[in-house]
């Protein structure tokens, strides 16, 4: 499973960066509603980086991610009625607000630190997040 957290209008109304609108940018810059993006990844090597977690790190990571979901009365994540980007993903409401200084990459980095894994302090872009992790060979 792959998890991400971002601004509602960016995730739900902007399938490609070229589709972004000024109102969406404004919402992301000033503190829009936060959502979680969850995707089933059939090939765990789809990225060229890998991080191995010990069981206790994995538990801390999952606990931190789970805490970001807004829950319904039955303590289940609240799914958003959005078709997603494909057949293997979905969006859920998250707690708190999103803003430009708290990007999806800084969110992921924060969760890795909670798990006990070294992570960049503030990586606004993906390269700043993944640079320290082991490259996976193409073999």
Give pLDDT tens digits for 21-48.
998 888 888 888 999 999 998 877 667 7
Domain residue extents for the chain: 2-135
Give yes or no for residue 9 having a pLDDT over 60.
Answer: yes
The answer to whether 24 touches 14, Cβ cutoff 8 Å, is yes
Backbone torsions φ then ψ of 50, nearest 5 degrees: -140, 145
pTM of the model: 0.85
Who contacts 23 (Cβ-Cβ below 8 Å, separation ≥6)?
9
């Amino acid at each position: 499973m792959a998890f991400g957290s971002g601004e509602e209008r960016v995730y739900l109304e902007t399938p490609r960066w070229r589709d972004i609108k000024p109102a969406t940018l404004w919402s992301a810059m000033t503190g829009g509603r936060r959502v979680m993006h969850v995707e089933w990844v059939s090939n765990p090597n789809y990225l060229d980086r890998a991080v191995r977690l010990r069981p206790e790190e994995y538990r801390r990571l999952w606990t931190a991610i789970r805490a970001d979901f807004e829950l319904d009365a039955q303590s289940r994540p609240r799914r958003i009625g959005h078709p997603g980007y494909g057949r293997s993903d979905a969006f859920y409401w998250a707690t708190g607000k999103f803003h430009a200084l708290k990007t999806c990459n800084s969110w992921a980095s924060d969760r890795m630190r909670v798990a006990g894994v070294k992570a960049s302090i503030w990586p606004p872009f993906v390269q700043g997040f993944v640079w320290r992790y082991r490259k996976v060979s193409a073999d």
